[in-house]
Amino acid sequence: MAVEIAPQVAPVGAQVSNETAPYKESFLWEWATTVDHKKIGILYLLTGGLFFLIGGLEALLVR
Q: How far apart are CA 39 and CA 31, in angstroms?
A: 7
Q: Break the chain into its structural domains and give their ranges.
A: 36-62
pTM above the 0.75 mark?
Answer: no
Phi and psi at residue 57, in whole multiples of 5°?
A: -65, -40
Per-residue pLDDT tens listing for the chain (63 residues): 677 887 777 677 767 666 666 677 788 999 999 999 999 999 999 999 999 999 999 999 998
CA distance 54 to 24: 34
pLDDT of residue 63: 87
